[in-house]
Amino acid sequence: MKALPVASSKMTLYALASGWWRQLAYRNRSAEWSLYLMFVSGIVLWNQIVIPWPVERLFLVVHVLSSMLLFPLMVLPFWLSHRKLLRSSSKKLLRTTGLLLDYLLLGCALSGVFLIFVGNRGDNFAWLIYMAHLVSALIIFPMLMRHTVKWSVLKPIWSIFIRNSNV
């Protein structure tokens, strides 16, 4: 993150907070890493992926704790501060993927809260919530990668493949 310039010694707390909030809206690596951690730790919990229960239990703990701690501390502030960019961007692709990510993140977060506090009880409604959580996460992952393609934390990984495919 860039350091905020201090113009005078009379900088108010509101001005500092406002500058921090504006800066938070740009290229937040911790928010992106948090989302990827939540995706990876959650996808192995999918019932189509069979892993031993002790390993699954570890991933469940990591997924729940990261969702309860990292989402409100890292992702939510970035997400809320990023709204102004969604309204003011001249790039149609970023506006479209950003709006879709908004709705998907909201659905994934709300279904995740339900699953944390109520759980998947095995009835039809709980199965529907579980599927909403899973499907929204499966769509968020590639859409987030596309939305952040130019400044993603994963850019060094896929730039290797892009460079090698041009040879």
pLDDT at 47: 86
Contacts 24+ apart (CB under 8 A), 82-86: 82/25, 84/25, 85/25, 85/26
Q: Specify the number of domains making up the chain.
A: 1
Packing angle of the helix pair 92-117, 53-70 (nearest 10 deg): 120
What Rg, from alpha-carbon coordinates, does the chain have?
Answer: 19
Ranges 10-19, 107-116, 139-148, 154-163, most confident:
107-116
Tens-place pLDDT, residues 44-96 = 999 899 999 999 999 999 999 999 999 999 999 988 888 888 888 888 888 89
Claim: this prediction has a pTM higher than 0.85? no
Q: Is 7 inside a domain boundary?
A: no
Tell me what the pLDDT averaged over the chain comes to.
86
